[in-house]
Amino acid sequence: MTWQLTKKHNFDAVFDSQKLFRLLLEAISNPTRIVDIKEIADKLFGSYPELLAVAMTLLDNETGFSIYGSDSLSADIAALTLARREAVSAADFIFVCDKSGIQEAIEKAKYGTLAQPHKSATVVIQSDGAQAGSLTLSGPGIAGAVEIPVSQAVKDALACRAAQNYEYPQGIDLIFVSDKGELMAVPRLVKVVE
Amino acid sequence: MNSNYNYAFLDEGSKREIRRSVLKAVAIPGYQVPFGSRELPIGRGWGTGGIQLTLSLIGPADTLKVIDQGSDESVNAVNIKKFVGLCTDVETTNDTRKATLIQTRHRIPEIPLRNGQILVLQVPIPEPLRIVEPCEEATKKMHAEKDYAPMWLQLYESLVKYKKVTIPTEYPCMVEGRYMMNPSPIPKFDNPKLHRAECLYLFGAGREKKIYAIPPHTEVVSLAFDDIPFERESFAGKKCRLCGSENTYLDEIFDPQTGERFFQCSDTSYCQEVRRHVSE
């Protein structure tokens, strides 16, 4: 009897995570810019390869994570990155697989302290990518104010985050991915301009 | 490439931690994010913060430039370039425009950087409040409470004693009206280049274990009083003896044999470019 060993994914822990990190850095430094992570996400598997790609790049056994909406993604992230599963209020990274989890995830996410604002959660949200209007954003990384088309998930998440009224520098940072491989980040200082 | 080490020397766990800190630093401009500074084959204080940032950022698609006090050819710059080259095989350049990643010490290049370029600055003392408060716990609390009165008092005392602010380099600035930040030992001349820039600035302090950042289009204002505006170094009436530039930061060089003093551009690659244009 011969055994056929197959690799579950082709994501390169050194080069693909470097590439994805640079795209993430580009997105978070230029908050209205959408970067394309499809090529890298396609190397992974499951229903949420984009979320898994972000997890593979940033998570390890020093971080805790929590997930809304997919037990299988939770198992895959734990197995591939060795990150700890945590309660939402203690998680460094919260992955939200569908819109229904956005409000609770943001309300419960840890937002740091005035002295240690970096001890806050990054919430990574899967959006369906379907355009649901536009928003004008302003803040560091954006020249003036820029109007961009956004999905319903982005609208909901930004409205929910604004409703928390965090005292800066406290706050949470948001990353959005779509199943088309688009990634956008909205750090805490970037606000919707009415 | 030396294959006895991981790509870009650091292990992946170290890079990931630095990368997480970088993302937080960009999200909170001017805030010093603590990180677990790693051992490197050079001593702390020789640019290890900058090197760790560079190693965590760099990939095969990058072109690296390293400058030290504006020069591409000084010992620190050459050795860092060689070290990163040894463990990554990336292309290196002296041309500011060609570089995607620039590591620097004490200067920001004269050519305005574009969006997409990253400038990594080596920082010896990241804490701008250290000169007024030696205790780290106390400065952390001062930042939390945005209590910058002692620093303003320091500037005021300097005005009273010397009739001008006497801080020549590491001139503190306010980022987005919230955090007081040390821009690293760049001359005051370079401070305005931080304000609403196109590129991303990352600051790494290896010995002090801090990373901070200024994303593009971020408000960075050098400290000044309403009636005493911020002033850069003035080189009025002086020009570079090599390229003739009158709008650059100039080094003063003294010839002990002749007793002659002359000036030349501190940014060597800019100076060479101007001379090339003139000769063409």
Inside any domain, residue B276: yes
Distance, CA of B24 to CA of B248 (rounded, Å): 34
**Over residues B26-54, mean pLDDT:** 94
My answer on whether B117 and B192 are in the same domain is yes
Following CA atoms B181, B184, B185, B189 in sequence, which dihedral angle do they give, to the nearest 10 degrees?
Answer: -70
- Judged against a pLDDT cut of 80, whether residue B2 lies above it is answered with no
Task: Please report whether residue B7 resides in a domain.
Answer: no
Alpha-carbon radius of gyration of chain A: 17
> In chain B, pLDDT over 90 holds for what percent of residues?
92
pLDDT winner (highest mean) among B44-53, B111-120, B252-261:
B111-120
Report pLDDT digits (tens) over A19-30: 999 999 999 999
Query: A187 and B26: CB-CB below 8 Å?
Result: yes
Which residue segments constitute the domains of chain A, with CATH numbers given?
15-192 (3.40.50.11310)
* DSSP string across B118-151: EEEEE-S---GGGGT---HHHHHHHHHTT--HHH
Whether B240 is catalytic is yes
Give chain B's radius of gyration (CA, Å): 19
Q: What is the mean pLDDT of residues B44-53?
A: 93
Greatest distance between any 2 Cα atoms in chain B: 59
Q: State how far the alpha carbon of B41 is from the alpha carbons of B10, B12, B122, in Å.
A: 11, 17, 16
Cα(B147)–Cα(B238) distance, rounded to whole angstroms?
40
Whether residue A2 is predicted with pLDDT greater than 90 in this model: the reply is no
B58/B163 same-domain check: yes
- Taking the CA of residue B249 as centre, how many other CA atoms within 13 Å lie in the half-sphere pointing to its CB? 24
Question: Where does the pLDDT of residue B43 fall: very low under 50, low under 70, confident under 90, or very high at 90 and above?
Answer: confident
- For residues B81 and B164, state if they share a domain: yes
Choose the final residue of a domain: B222, B249, B264.
Answer: B222
Predicted confidence at residue B221, as pLDDT, reads 97
Q: Mean pLDDT for chain A?
A: 96
Give the number of C-alpha atoms closer than 13 A to the C-alpha of residue A2, restricted to the C-beta side. 2
> How do beta strands B33-34 and A35-36 pair?
unpaired
Give the pLDDT band of residue B168 (cuts 50, 70, 90). Answer: confident
B217 and B247, same domain (yes or no): no
Mean pLDDT of B243-259: 94
pLDDT digits (tens, 9 = 90+) for B170-185: 999 999 999 999 999 9
Q: Which distant-in-sequence residues (6+ apart) come within 8 Å of B87 by Cβ? A: B1, B2, B5, B7, B8, B9, B55
Q: How many domains does chain B have?
A: 2
pLDDT at A3: 84
A16 in Cβ contact with A40 (< 8 Å): yes
What pLDDT band is residue B105 in, cutting at 50, 70 and 90? very high
B-chain CB neighbours of A14 within 8 Å are 6-7, 12
Q: Looking at the partner chain, which of B27, B31, B179 has a beta carbon nearest the beta carbon of A28?
A: B27
Q: Give backbone dihedrals phi and psi of B191, rounded to 5 degrees, phi first.
A: -55, -45
Indicate whether B92 and B213 sit together in one domain: yes
Identify the residue with better confidence: B250 or B3.
B250
- Asked if the structure places residue B145 within a domain, the reply is yes
Is residue A57 within 8 A of residue A20, CB to CB? The reply is: yes
Whether A81 and A43 have beta carbons less than 8 Å apart is answered as: no
**Reported confidence tier of residue B280, pLDDT bands at 50, 70, 90:** confident
pLDDT at B215 over 90: yes
Task: State the average pLDDT over residues B134-154.
Answer: 97
> So what's the pLDDT on residue B3?
80
**Is B256 in the same domain as B190?**
no
Active site residue B30: yes
Cβ pair A145, A138 in contact under 8 A = yes
CA angle, corner A26, sides to A59 and B9, nearest 5? 55
CB contact under 8 A, B216 and A58: no
Q: Which domain holds residue B273?
A: 234-280
**pLDDT for A147 beyond 80:** yes
Q: Both B175 and B87 in a single domain?
A: yes
Query: Given B222, B245, B270, which residue is the final one in a domain?
Result: B222
Instruction: Tell me whether residue B96 is in a domain.
Output: yes
A184/B262 Cα distance (integer angstroms) = 51
Within a domain: residue B3? no
B202, B216 contact by CB (below 8 A): no
E strand or H helix at B48:
helix B48-57
Strand A35-36: give its sheet, edge to edge: A35-36, A182-186, A173-178, A122-127, A93-96, A64-68, A84-85
d(C-alpha B48, C-alpha B42), whole Å: 7
Check if the beta carbon of residue A110 is closer than 8 Å to that of residue A91. yes
* Same domain as B279, residue B206: no
Mean pLDDT of all residues in chain B? 95
For A169, which of B31, B59, B60 is closest by C-beta distance? Answer: B31
**How does DSSP assign B233-248, residue by residue?**
---TT---TTT--SSS
What the block records as the tokens of B28 is: 């909170």
The β-bridge relationship of strands A173-178 and A122-127 is parallel
CA distance A130 to A149: 10
Q: How far apart are CA A148 and CA B10, in angstroms?
A: 38
Question: Is residue B40 domain-shared with residue B78, that is, in the same domain?
Answer: yes
CATH number at residue B87: 3.40.50.11310
B196 torsion bin: left (phi>0), alpha (psi -120 to 50), beta (else): left
Tell whether B106 and B194 lie within a shared domain.
Answer: yes
- Non-local (6+) Cβ contacts of B257 within 8 A are none
Residue B103 in domain: yes
Query: Which of A24, A115, A169 faces B178 most closely, judged by CB atoms?
Result: A169
Averaged over B37-43, what is the pLDDT?
90
A vs B, Cβ pairs < 8 A, gives: 106
Nearest to A91 by CA among A71, A76, A74, A114: A74
Question: Residues 6 or more apart from B233 whose CB is under 8 A from it?
Answer: B168, B187, B188, B189, B249
pLDDT tens sequence across B197-212: 999 999 999 999 999 9
Residue B62 predicted with pLDDT over 80: yes
Question: Which of A29, A111, A138 to mutate against chain B (most B CBs within 10 Å)?
Answer: A29
pLDDT value of position A6: 86
The answer to whether residue B84 is domain-embedded is yes
**Shortest distance, CA A120 to any CA of chain B (angstroms):** 9
For residue B212, give how far its alpha carbon lies from the nearest alpha carbon of chain A (Å).
11
Bridge partners of A149, per DSSP, are A134
Q: Are residues B125 and B254 in the same domain?
A: no
Residue A4: the pLDDT is: 87
Establish if B2 belongs to a structural domain: no
Contact of A97 with A120, CB cutoff 8 Å = no
Closest CA to B25 of B243, B265, B212: B212
**What are the DSSP calls for chain A, one per residue?**
-------S----TTHHHHHHHHHHHHHHHSTT--EE-HHHHTTS-SS-HHHHHHHHHH--TT-EEEEES-HHHHHHHHHHH-PEE--GGG-SEEEE-SGGGHHHHHHHS-B--SS-TTSB-EEEEEE---EEEEEEEESTTSSSEEEEEEEHHHHHHHHHHHHT---TT---EEEEEETTSEEEEE-TT-EE--
Instruction: Determine the average pLDDT of the residues in A71-98.
Output: 97
Same domain, B123 and B156: yes
